[in-house]
A and B are shown apart, each in its own frame.
Chain A
Amino acid sequence: MNFLTALAIATMFALGLFQLMRRNTIRSATGLVLLSNAVNMFLFTTGAYDGVAAAYYQAQGPVSDPLPQALVLTAIVISAGGFAFVLSLLYIIAERYKTSNSDEVEGLRN
């Protein structure tokens, strides 16, 4: 199971990076989602695992680490905000440079 989980995390991470390196700006944006999902899953693995009970008061049995969960919760929200902002940048690029090809965005050069 660990093997499969790690494989899923790594694959999503690698696919996200691959997408990030595309010229098509929309594809880069989707890559960002994959990447943040993979990172969030990875953050879960940094916590302790003490059982299958959710981290609630008087849970049945030992509970898993609530701290990474709280961190991931925050991370999800913030990456969602950032993602929306990136999308608005895509729109602006399309408006100003009339392209969805990141290589054609001039102004970074020189």
Chain B
Amino acid sequence: MPTTLIFPFILLATGLLLALAFSHPAIRPRLTSERMGWILALFPATAFITLLLAYAGKPAETPLTFSAAWIPSLGVNFSLYLDGLAALFALIITGIGTLIVIYAGHYFHGDETAWRFQAYTLLFMSAMLGVVLAGDLVTLFLFWEGTSISSFLLIGYKYKDEAARKGAFKSLFITGGGGIALLAGFAFIMVLSGGSDFATILTSREVLQASPLYPVFFGLIALGAFTKSAQVPAHIWLPEAMSAPTPASAFLHSATMVKAGVYLLARFNPVLGGNDTWFWTLSIFGFATMLTGAYLGLKQNDLKALLAYSTISQLGVLVALIGLGHDYAYKALVIGILAHALYKSSLFMSAGIIDHETGTRDLRLLGGLRKQMPILFILMLIPALSMAGLPPLFGFLAKETLLASAVYKDLSAVLTVIFPLMTVLAGAMLLAQSGLLIRGTFLGQPTDPKHPPHGHDPHWGFWLAPAIPAFLSLLVGLMPEPGFLVSILADAAKSVYGESVKVSLALWTGFNLPLGLSIAAISLGSLLFWQLARIRPILASILPNFSANNLYDATLNGIAWGAREATLLQRGQIRFYIGVMLFTTVAIFLSFGALPPLEKLQGSLSFEDLGNHFFWLRIIILLVALLGSLASVLILRDLHAILALGVSGLAVAGWMALEPAPDVALVQVVVDILATIILVLTLTIIPRKLRKKAREFTLNRTRFGVFRDAFIAFSLGLLVFVVSLASLNTRDERTNLAEAYHIDGAKTLAGAKDMVGAIVVDFRAIDTMLEIMVFAFAALGIYTLLHFTVRKAKDQETEPEEHRNPPGEPRGSFGLPTSPFLHMLAYAVLPLAVILALTQLIYGHDQPGDGFTAGVTIGLAIASWYIIFGYNATKAKLTWLNPVRLIGIGLAIALVNALLGFVFGKGFFAPVDYGAMLGISAYLPVGLVLSNAFIFEIAICVTILGASVLILDNLGHPTEADTESTALLKEIGQE
């Protein structure tokens, strides 16, 4: 079953959810962190077993795959892929992961926030498992980034500690940056090989290696892998990531995350490897990292830092091995991965126990713990010996195979000297590190006899977790040829090499060169260790201030400097920003030459190309629109400018009517009037002196500013001119954007003669639904803004409302009495508007007009009431007018109506004719169809009515009626 590959993810996700559930206040106090650890460990443990069974059960030669469509249009699938290499990593991840979860339960003894750590750990575990099981580049990248983010959470777990925050940021900055490079590299591979799944990529070796772009995408991928696997000079994040809680360090920085880069290189070795670029890049970086890590590790006094540097060294070894490119190297690679995962996770966990029990992990304070913690001494000695590469441990085997591949016969003569030399040197230093670790912690006497470290062996559950990998390190070394292990390692090596690799786990291979080198390394290491007390001060004096951190700091400072300089552009002038954006737009357009071809612009001076329909009318209307717009800019008095603007908007409506687009023209008319009214109303609420002051710079006094803005506007106008002219000239050649389905189906499917109406309320009903929601929310937003921020503060300082607007004779919005004739007119306008609206609702489906126009029409009639009777009197007269309630009712009707389409029809908003359903169609007035489109129109009408009244309410509220409206009136009188 391919779905078995999904199963581990489901398990881990369940564990994650359970960990989150444990945060519940009802559970948290009753569940100790230890028990929580044991419960949660069931999930990775089951995942481990599932993976083991899946791997054991699959056919030997073919990988197990799973694939589900994800972004089919891009050919991207969510794919999983289990072969030997993936299985090796997946088993390490879930196996050690299980131990970590148990261990963390004890580590966080008594800490009520342990669930958070466990949740992060399980999150990380899922991401890491995804990286090694992914069968598709996009899937792989997604999980890859997942490990960066979840490890950021884990490293920064103690977020109150500045070092933790810095370490977390540094790791995210470096590995995240590498992730971006990786994405770019993947993109190259996907384009070149024509697919993102492993099946395609693993068979595209020739295409990829023949490509002249090979150095580019190989470099990008190497950048991603090297940053993740802490290769020089990106290794600096790993020591600082030690500020993570020790369970996280043991998991991420020994067995899993830092190996992701190694995994990636190993995975792509059959495709991208086997050439000189690959060999030299991986060898140089790998060996450099190996030596750097081994050397720097010797300088450390912190247990975890020492372990971190030895990890860096080991990662360098693994990367170099991938580069070597012969079967023996891949044997060494897989053995090295497993051996390192076992001893390093065990050492980290033990170091955590020491820290936990004695309160320090500084080698200068520790010492002599042998008698106090005998069990831990043994538990730490075994993996330390493995790290030192001493027989009969697994680490010895790893070092032997490493040395054997370093002296491999296919390498050129120079390298057969240099590689073994470096390997021996690094091996010696690692041995000295192991010795330092054990002696500084357990042997001898405390360095500071006045404050000897206190500690005792912990509860067995605590040391069980490091005991298992330590024991395995010994067991694998002792067992002659454990069959299953050999087969999985051989299978993994085969995935890396592309052909089968013979793997044997025999410790004794006879007297040969590797054994001799091994003895040399051990002797040199022992010497180093013996003289360590003398050597370390010398080491510390070499380049004490030099590290790749200088580079990192310089980069960060550079970014901060750049950001500071960039904010100089932020002058706090919105119009400046707009100007810059517009100017850039023009520049981009011109630089790309994205202009329509010239021939599209020819022949357009003729005025007869539209068959002379309403020829002069069109010309007059366009001229009115032009002049109105121009006047709205040039006229200095706000009121007059706004009126000119209204005229230009009406002319646009006229142009639309001649299009002919009667529905749109109607909407444009009502919206234009509404916009003009609310603009005028806004004038009444903005203090006059402010506007007078602002008027002085309406056309800036500095000529330069006007010219600059005019130039920018003119350039964009020219651009728009060219584009619209081209668009207009080709209109006749185009076919309708609306599909025949909409055009022909308007009557048959939607029951509407009006195609635009059919599109609005039927075919694209959800759009319209959202549209009225936007309008309603804009109105509600205005209400909230003005009501709760400004006006509230104001009401408290001014007198109550009735004092400002005394009852009695109704006064118009300008604070002056209005004539009885106007009152009569107002009384007549509202019912007429309602009748007009009803007509539009009923016949809107076949004639111009729709619910929106209807709603605004009534709203405009009410606006006339505001003007004639004033705000308070209107409110008193029209008690049914509660805008917020109207909006609510309208939207509710719309939603219920849409859902009824689901019940009676074929889906959300599906057309239903209730009249026909109830059998009353014949009794309805001619032209009225009781369909859900009709109900939707009513809903639109009610919503829009509520929203426009709400807008008028708030923008037309006479807050400063006494001062402002009289001033406005004077202004009108003056002109």
Binding site for B on A (CB under 8 A): 1-30, 33-34, 37-38, 40-42, 44-50, 52-58, 63-70, 72-74, 76-78, 80-85, 87-92, 94-96, 98-103, 105-106, 108-110
Contact = CB atoms under 8 A, between A and B. Distances in A.
A52 B574 contact: no
B768 A42 contact: no
A45 B730 CA distance: 9
Interface stretch (B16-24, B234-242, B712-720): B712-720
5 closest Cβ pairs, A-B complex: A14-B717, A109-B572, A10-B721, A81-B778, A100-B694
A82 B771 CA distance: 11
B955 A84 contact: yes
B779 A84 contact: yes
B632 interface: yes
A68 to B, nearest CB: 6
B342 to A, nearest CB: 55
Interface in B702-719: 709-710, 712-714, 716-718
Contacts of A96: 790
B671 A77 contact: yes
A9 B782 CA distance: 30
Given A24-B698, A54-B662, A99 B778 contact: no
Contact of B626 (A12, A29, A65): A12
B648 A34 contact: yes
B786 A66 contact: no
B683 to A, nearest CB: 7
Contacts of A92: 785-786, 789-790
Interface stretch (B45-53, B77-85, B287-295, B649-657): B649-657
B716 A80 contact: no
A54 B641 CA distance: 33
Given A21-B712, A54-B662, A45 B727 contact: yes
Nearest to A39: B720
B774 interface: yes
A73 B668 CA distance: 8
B756 A69 contact: yes
A86 to B, nearest CB: 9
B727 A66 contact: no
B661 interface: yes
Nearest to A17: B713
A29 B656 CA distance: 23
- Mostly, the A contact residues are helix
Given A17-B713, A26-B694, A73-B667, A5 B790 contact: no
Contact of A21 (B615, B664, B709, B944): B709
A100 B655 contact: no
B691 interface: yes
Contacts of A94: 685-687, 690
B695 A87 contact: no
Nearest to B567: A110
A88 B642 contact: no
A1 to B, nearest CB: 5
B694 A91 contact: no
Interface in B669-705: 671, 674-675, 678-679, 682-683, 685-687, 690-691, 693-695, 697-698, 700
Contacts of A78: 771, 774-775
A34 B629 contact: yes
A77 B753 contact: no
Interface stretch (B317-325, B452-460, B733-741, B895-903): B733-741
Interface string B728-768: 11011011111000110011000011111001100010011
Main secondary structure of the interface of B (DSSP, over half): helix
A89 to B, nearest CB: 7
A38 B790 contact: no
A37 B574 contact: no
Given A14-B714, A18-B713, A69-B664, A57 B747 contact: yes
B368 interface: no
Contacts of A99: 690, 693-694
Contacts of B582: 17
Contact of A101 (B570, B683, B697): B697
B736 A102 contact: no
Nearest to A106: B572
Given A22-B575, A67-B742, A30 B771 contact: no
Contact of A17 (B712, B746, B779, B951): B712
Given A66-B743, A78-B775, A84-B951, A48 B675 contact: no
Contacts of A27: 633, 641, 694, 698
Interface stretch (B124-132, B179-187, B531-539, B602-610): B602-610
A1 B617 CA distance: 11
Contacts of A67: 736-738, 742, 759
Contacts of B648: 12, 34, 37
B215 interface: no
Contact of B663 (A13, A69, A100, A102): A69
Contacts of A2: 604, 609-610, 725, 728-729
A72 B664 contact: yes
B130 to A, nearest CB: 41
Contacts of B716: 13-14, 17
B579 interface: yes
Give the interface residue-count category, chain B. Answer: 35 or more
Nearest to A89: B785
A19 B700 CA distance: 11
Given A20-B578, A23-B697, A88-B954, A100 B686 contact: yes
A91 B659 contact: no
Given A12-B625, A12-B626, A84 B575 contact: no
A64 B661 contact: yes
B661 A69 contact: yes
B299 interface: no
B357 interface: no
Given A26-B683, A45-B731, A9 B746 contact: no
Interface string B239-262: 000000000000000000000000
Contacts of A50: 732, 736
A41 B731 CA distance: 14
15 contacts: A2-B728, A6-B725, A6-B728, A15-B717, A17-B713, A21-B709, A47-B734, A49-B734, A52-B613, A55-B743, A67-B736, A70-B760, A73-B756, A96-B790, A108-B570
A4 to B, nearest CB: 5
A81 to B, nearest CB: 3
A56 to B, nearest CB: 5
A40 B775 contact: no
Contacts of A77: 667, 671, 771-772, 774-775, 852, 944
A108 B720 contact: no
A22 to B, nearest CB: 6
Given A30-B645, A46-B727, A81-B779, 18 more contacts: A2-B609, A2-B610, A3-B725, A8-B625, A24-B695, A26-B638, A26-B679, A26-B691, A30-B632, A37-B625, A56-B846, A63-B755, A80-B775, A81-B947, A92-B789, A94-B686, A95-B790, A105-B574
A9 B738 contact: no
B632 to A, nearest CB: 6
Nearest to B692: A100
A13 B754 contact: no
Among A10, A23, A37, A83, max chain B CB count under 10 A is at: A37
Given A23-B697, A55-B756, A1 B675 contact: no
B319 to A, nearest CB: 47
A10 B622 CA distance: 12
A84 B613 contact: no
B598 to A, nearest CB: 15
Interface string B538-571: 0000000000000000000000000000000011
B518 to A, nearest CB: 65
B724 interface: yes
B731 A48 contact: yes
B591 interface: no
B645 A108 contact: no
A52 B607 CA distance: 16
